[in-house]
Structure 1
Amino acid sequence: MSSAVLYLAIVAVWAVVLVPMWLRRDSESSGFSRLLGKRGEEEELDEPEEPAGAPAPARRRSGRAAVIARRRRRTSGLTLLLATSIAVVAAGYAPWWIALPPTLLLAAHLTLLRVAVGMDTTRRQERRARAQEARRAAAQQPQAEIIELSAPAEEEVFDQYADDRRAVGE
């Protein structure tokens, strides 16, 4: 009985990882490169070039939104797996150590999320510092001299509707 539960737990753990990969059909990158966090060249381009009459392709999420959605899905899946394993142990169908792998997986995932948040914060701060430095540099550049262009006072302005003017040949 306990070996069947162990096999079921192993299948459940792999299902949490593999089923979302199988459900996503992505021609640009394979499942292995997605696990490594690599992107295809097509994903890096903002807008693909198209002929005028071609329909627009379905838009993908921006990189940041896709990463956040993937993190949420993974956290939800691991939490559900942990809750299921705890329920199986509480019901007496499996020994206590069956809940250990999902607990370790969730703890490792949360640790990696904490590191990722720190990296995201550092990148955001660096980006803000670069933008602020660029604004300072633009403000310190010398301004162009403004030259006022005005007509000289003695120049006569032509008025075609004046009474004393006539067209040539009249």
Structure 2
Amino acid sequence: MSSAVLYLAIVIVWAIVLVPMWLRRDTEATGISRLLHKRPEEAEAAEDDEEEIPDEVPEPRRPVSRATVIARRRRRTTGLAALLLTTIAVAASGLAPWWITAPPVLLLAGHLALLRVAVGMDAAHRRAATQAARAAARTRALEARRAAEATEPAEVIELITPDDVFDQYADDRRAVGE
């Protein structure tokens, strides 16, 4: 019975690893299909025998947003934690030996270590972007100041106002034709 549980645990771990890989195939040029394409050396020998086939340019991958990366990290952490809790429950119930919890513990610990590095890298990217934005703002402010100093001051013209200003609400005013 314990060997069946062990095989089941192995299948579950591989499913956790492989299913996201199968679901993540974005284009034809990724994964196993990349290995199936001919190498350049083989393509040259094949061109002599066959007519030329136009090369298909794969579509560029769309950029991955920060929200997508965070969601992926959250799903992976949740999956590894669920796997760990499952193996702990199986080991605690006596269906399998205690050491089946070792692989999920190692996987979760490695994932958490990678998350820690990723947080540091994200902070470094944020600091670099902030510094670049501040430098660009300082440059724009300096250019604006230089442009303001280079321009001539505007000439002030005094407007002469008549003493008799039209007031539409005055009593002695009438509309045209009255």
Could you state the TM-score of these two structures normalised by the residue count of structure 2? 0.64
SS of equivalent residue, structure 2 residue 96: coil
Asked whether the equivalents of residues 25 and 31 of structure 2 are also in contact (C-alpha less than 8 Å), the reply is no
Asked whether the equivalents of residues 28 and 43 of structure 1 are also in contact (C-alpha less than 8 Å), the reply is no
Structure 1 residue ranges without an equivalent (≥5): 33-39, 45-61, 154-170
Q: Which amino acid aligns with 1:114?
A: R
Q: Which amino acid aligns with 2:10?
A: I
Structure 1 residue 65 displacement after superposition? 1.0
Structure 1 residue 21 displacement after superposition? 2.9
Asked whether the equivalents of residues 78 and 105 of structure 1 are also in contact (C-alpha less than 8 Å), the reply is yes
Confirm or deny that 1:11 pairs with 2:15.
no
1:139-150 maps to which residues of 2 (within 5 A)?
139-141=141-143, 142-144=146-148, 145-146=151-152, 148=154
Match of 2:53 in 1: none
Deviation sequence 1:60-85 (CA, Å, 0-9, x none): xx521111111011001100100100
Confirm or deny that 1:30 pairs with 2:34.
no
Q: Which amino acid aligns with 2:120?
A: G
Deviation sequence 1:30-73 (CA, Å, 0-9, x none): 358xxxxxxx72314xxxxxxxxxxxxxxxxx521111111011
1:11-160 maps to which residues of 2 (within 5 A)?
11-24=11-24, 26-27=26-27, 30-31=30-31, 41-44=60-63, 63-141=65-143, 142-144=146-148, 145-146=151-152, 148=154
Over the aligned positions, Cα root-mean-square deviation in angstroms equals: 2.4
Asked whether the equivalents of residues 89 and 98 of structure 1 are also in contact (C-alpha less than 8 Å), the reply is yes
Report the Cα distance in structure 2 between the residues aligned to 1:80 and 1:20, rounded to whole angstroms.
16
Could you state the TM-score of these two structures normalised by the residue count of structure 1? 0.66
Report the Cα distance in structure 2 between the residues aligned to 1:7 and 1:30, rounded to whole angstroms.
30
Structure 1 residue 100 displacement after superposition? 0.5
Structure 2 residue ranges without an equivalent (≥5): 33-58, 160-178
Asked whether the equivalents of residues 5 and 95 of structure 2 are also in contact (C-alpha less than 8 Å), the reply is yes
Structure 1 residue 123 displacement after superposition? 0.6
Compared CA separation, residues 136 and 149, structure 1 to 2 (3 A) = same
Report the Cα distance in structure 1 between the residues aligned to 2:14 and 2:142, rounded to whole angstroms.
58
Match of 1:52 in 2: none
Compared CA separation, residues 29 and 105, structure 1 to 2 (3 A) = farther
Report the Cα distance in structure 1 between the residues aligned to 2:137 and 2:28, rounded to whole angstroms.
38
SS of equivalent residue, structure 1 residue 41: coil
SS of equivalent residue, structure 2 residue 62: helix
Report the Cα distance in structure 2 between the residues aligned to 1:28 and 1:65, rounded to whole angstroms.
25
